Amino acid sequence: MENLKIKLLVTGATGFIGQSLCKKLQGSEYCIRALARESSDSSKLERNSSNIEVVFGELSDKESLGHACKNIDIVIHLAGIAHVNNVASNAFQQTIYDGSKNLFDSAIANKVKKIVFLSSVLAEAAENFDDEVTAYGQAKYNAEVYLKNACANSATDYLILRPVNVYGPDMKGNIMSMVRWIRKGILPSLPNVTTKISLISVNDLVELVELSLIHPKAENKCFTVSESTPYELLEIEKAIYQALEKKIPTSHTPRMLLYAAAGASGLIAKMLEIFGLRPPWGGINLRTYRNLISDSVYTSESLCSELGFIPSRNFYDELPSIVEKT
């Protein structure tokens, strides 16, 4: 790694957000060390950039983390379970909290200047003692608290970013599942709801991460990351049908029918889990139904005012490139 450039360690570099970040930073004033699991496909990183060094390791392996953090200026922690459906709760503790703790300890021991931690807006529920907190959100929040305390007793600064649902080509999660199921013609129409959700483009997110590496006010703080205007769920459904050139449903599925289907799906999933199996339709359950009928709207006013960062992308403009990946 070149001596004059700022040296970054990026965990989760082979993931959806990690690949976009490395692509954004390649050829810049940074040298990137990408931490990847041996089982992951790092070929794109190794092939597409001359300033990316790929090293292999695990968040559970403290020795490999120590080597990865050596001579690093800034750690960008993206690794972890990114999607919460159909995952056992103990996996969040092991991968998100325990793994993050190991990384933070190694980074501080190696005297890195700053740790940027990509958390989740779901951590807010744990912070506010909300009854709807998920195991995923709790694990993220616990990792945040540990990071703050660890940095308070060191010379290392931190920045915590809590993005809402992130969209872009190669995305995963509920919206991409909706696209795939609509393409296959197996998704019932949504009920007549007024639900609104907040989103953020992966391109805006990685631009923010890049800005945070050098911005003087991006130290020892926590920011929610979201576009300023939420999206109506029914408008998203309509836009997906249009992007796929499929006929838009003229009627809505009754709420009680979806409620019953979600409840039955959750029950079947629990029964299959006893035998170590997972349903092919994913982690649809009553929480999925509650998310469907409840707003999930967040603001990033403090981010805009303190860092001067305003997201510029729009889900509908990027939907064609998303649809191409299904």
Q: What is the pLDDT of residue 50?
A: 66
**CATH number for region 6-163:** 3.40.50.720
Instruction: Tell me the C-alpha distance between 92 and 119, whole Å.
Output: 13
Distance between alpha carbon 278 and the CA centroid of its chain, in Å? 22
191-216 pLDDT, tens digit each: 999 999 999 999 999 999 999 999 99
pTM of the predicted model as reported, rounded to 2 decimal places: 0.91
- Hey, where are the domains in the chain? 6-163
Q: Where are the beta strands (DSSP E) in 185-260?
A: 196-197, 199-201, 221-225, 231-232
User: Taken in order 126, 129, 130, 133, is the CA torsion positive or negative?
Assistant: positive
Q: What is the pLDDT of residue 3?
A: 59
280-309 pLDDT, tens digit each: 766 678 878 888 889 999 989 999 999 999
Cα–Cα nearest to 240, from 291, 292, 176: 176
How many other β-carbons are positioned within 10 Å of the β-carbon of residue 221? 16
89-137 pLDDT, tens digit each: 566 777 799 999 999 999 999 999 999 999 999 999 999 988 788 889 9
Q: What is the pLDDT of residue 282?
A: 67
Q: What is the pLDDT of residue 262?
A: 86
User: Taken in order 291, 84, 102, 155, is the CA torsion positive or negative?
Assistant: negative
pLDDT higher than threshold 90 for residue 234: yes
User: How many residues can be counted in the chain?
Assistant: 326
